[in-house]
């Protein structure tokens, strides 16, 4: 499998409403941190996740988190 493009070496802090979201796993989306379909033709698929509480979330920007789609600090080691 190929390596994702590092979109940002920091989390995308977003206030999200309850609902379903698609997180970009390839790093190529122009709508970071969310999928815009740029993964088509690659080994990557977006990650669907559910939010149940309105609050700020740190979404992974480096695309290497072990807790996708949420930031786990891995970007500090890249």
pLDDT along the chain (78 residues), means of 10: 92 98 98 97 96 98 98 96
What letter would DSSP give residue 3?
Answer: P
Domain boundaries, the chain: 12-73
pLDDT of residue 11: 98
pLDDT of residue 65: 97
pLDDT of residue 1: 63
Q: Are 74 and 37 in contact (CB under 8 A)?
A: no
What are the C-alpha distances in Å from 33 to residues 6, 29?
11, 7
Which is nearest to 66 in space by CA: 38, 47, 41, 50? 47
């Amino acid at each position: 499998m190929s390596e994702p493009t590092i979109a940002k070496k920091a989390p995308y802090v977003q206030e999200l409403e309850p609902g379903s979201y698609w997180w970009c796993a390839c790093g190529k989306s122009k709508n970071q941190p969310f999928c815009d379909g740029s993964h088509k033709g690659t080994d990557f698929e977006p990650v669907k996740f559910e939010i149940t509480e309105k609050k700020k979330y740190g979404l992974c920007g480096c695309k290497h988190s072990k807790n996708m789609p949420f930031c786990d600090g891995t970007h500090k080691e890249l």
